[in-house]
Chain A
Amino acid sequence: MTVFLPPPAAGLPPLGGAGEAEPAGQAMSAKPRSSFRRGLEVFVENRLAVAGLVIAVVMLVFCFIGPLVYHGNTTVVNFTNETLPPGAGHPLGTDANGNDVLARLMTSGRISLEVGIAAAVLATFLGTMWGSIAGYIGGALDAVMMRIVDAVLSIPVLFLALVVVALVTPTEPVLIMVIAVTSWLSTARLVRGESLSLRVREYVQAMRVMGGGSTRAVVRHIAPNAVGTIMVNLTFQVADAIALIVALSYLGLGIRPPQEDWGAMLSNGITYVSNGYWWLIVPPGVCIILIITAVMWMGEGLRDAVEVRLQRR
């Protein structure tokens, strides 16, 4: 036993990882806090980001658990109940088909959120694969892959989606595919840039010198370091995907009735603007603006958190 080591505490095995054996409080101050924790602290300090997270969670609960608690007529056409103002029995009134607006808001929101989140996840996955392969392999393959990205990026997503949706009937899975296939490109560009810059970082080179292979470089160093950037991008993709279905629905090429998303609800409601049926316009409008704002705030908070992690490293 060397003199530098503290004497083993009674009842504990000697030399057995001094940090872990200490009480939790002391261990915290001795060990450097993980970069994840530091990022989390920055995120939590950002009031807008936390507000965004809360709004998003409330929206998810409202759309997915809400229908279990609140039952309203969402499918049966009932003209005796058409366009009733908010009141007893119908907290947000009824629409032109006599359906309950609050219940409709929940089921439509489910479609908006499902399509938005699924499309964003799929697009991020596609873009990450494409970008990391291009960036890591480099050379001619990289050049060709990125020119393809440039080419598709130069066609506006809305235009491309309009053509594809005109080709095939837009069901929910089709919409998810269409949005994913037309919006993975910015992620690909971002991830390629990230993997190019990470590939030449000192710690990756050091690992290379020590005999590590490509797989280890990608799995242990490049992927974990790019995860932050990818997550931030995913968040913004969700906001853009929700906005895109709203736009498609307004143009009449969104999901087919009787299913609808918030965008379709809003654009149907707007046709009654001159009748003064505000309860058909305000609820879906507020929901769309709220969810996109919330997701943007979350994305900005995440971005700051990731940047702080990178700076302090």
Chain B
Amino acid sequence: MALYIVRRLLQSILVLLLVTMITFALLRAIPGNVAAAIMGPNVYRDPGAIKLFDQTYGFDHPWYYQYVLWLKQLLHGDLGYSWNLNQSVASLLGQRLLKSGILVGISVVLAVLIAVPIGMVQAVRRNKFIDHFFNGFSTFFYATPSFLLGLLLILVFAIKFPIFPAEAPQGEGVGVIFANFNAMILPIATLTLITLALFSRYMRSAVIDNLTEDYVRTAKAKGASEQRILFRHVMRNSLIPIITLLGLQLPQILAGALITESVFNFPGMGLLFYQQAQKEDYPTLLGIIVVVGVATVIGSLLADIAYAALDPRVRY
């Protein structure tokens, strides 16, 4: 087990290095000159200024040296500087990261809490009406574009029946989210529905697989009731793959969060990414990509370790 964790940790570090390399390659792929991007196109008339800039910021070094330099900055928490917003990317992200984290966290927990009973009902009543009903339900939410889902919720619950505000809580600080939680309902509902469709399908097949296992037959032979078998044995075992799924699906959930944030104007990381993508503010975009990549790698590492810890059958 300890050996497995160490090996998995080393792998993750390698993957993280590769993430930074990809990001750096994208950074280099950006057309144009950094000096011109900062000082304006007029700087082309003055080659001396470009040269001075390159020398000051290390752009006259070979690319691998620049990569090491950039990596060193990254390790010190320097994610780059947004010339467009005239602010460091780290300070831009601080609050938004937390806000996005709250939105994603609540939605994922809700989605799992709803997906587990749905998947179990589907598996137990396999090929019955209720199974087909929830199957149609999850396929529909999978096929519906996320932005359409969000806008439909706005149309019904904010315009037709004005119960909730159409816009997410605005303003500085994380506190506004909880101070104005009414406005969080629709964004959370949207992201929950998108994520739910990803999960309930897996829960159904995990329960179906587990129902055919030997331990179910043993429990039956010992006289355990249906309910006991289902809740004490099958449900617990079926939840284990959901943990791995959480680690694997994190990128997809974050993509859903980006769309949700842009529909509800939720001031999180996704909205920032989208707005800066249109302004071609590459330092911010790549800073966010590094953060998201690191979060995903750590997430899947934790998921794997949790999996190994929870399932005694897994031996590495």
Contact = CB atoms under 8 A, between A and B. Distances in A.
Contacts of B3: none
Contacts of A239: 143
B75 interface: no
A152 B148 contact: no
Interface in B144-165: 144-148, 151, 155
A283 to B, nearest CB: 13
B22 interface: yes
Interface in B223-281: 251-252, 254-255, 258-259, 262, 273-274, 277-278, 280
B145 A266 contact: yes
A309 B293 CA distance: 38
B170 interface: no
Contacts of B288: 159
B278 to A, nearest CB: 7
Given A151-B15, A166-B277, A250 B251 contact: no
B139 interface: yes
> In this complex, which of B14, B147, B288 has the most chain A Cβ atoms within 10 angstroms of its Cβ?
B147
Interface string A139-161: 00000000110111111111110
Contacts of A155: 19, 22, 251, 289, 292-293, 296
Interface string B180-210: 0000000000000000000000000000000
Contacts of A206: none
Interface in A262-313: 263, 266-267, 270, 273, 285, 288-290, 292-293, 296-297
Nearest to B258: A158
Contacts, number: 121
B206 to A, nearest CB: 16
Contact of A296 (B142, B151, B274): B142
> In this complex, which of B16, B140, B293, B300 has the most chain A Cβ atoms within 10 angstroms of its Cβ?
B293
B293 A151 contact: yes
A128 to B, nearest CB: 20
10 contacts: A148-B18, A155-B292, A157-B252, A167-B29, A167-B30, A243-B143, A266-B145, A285-B145, A293-B143, A297-B139
Closest 8 CB pairs of A and B: A151-B18, A154-B296, A292-B143, A158-B255, A156-B251, A156-B255, A293-B143, A162-B277
Given A154-B251, A167-B29, 12 more contacts: A147-B11, A148-B18, A153-B251, A155-B289, A156-B292, A158-B258, A167-B31, A243-B143, A250-B147, A251-B274, A293-B139, A296-B139
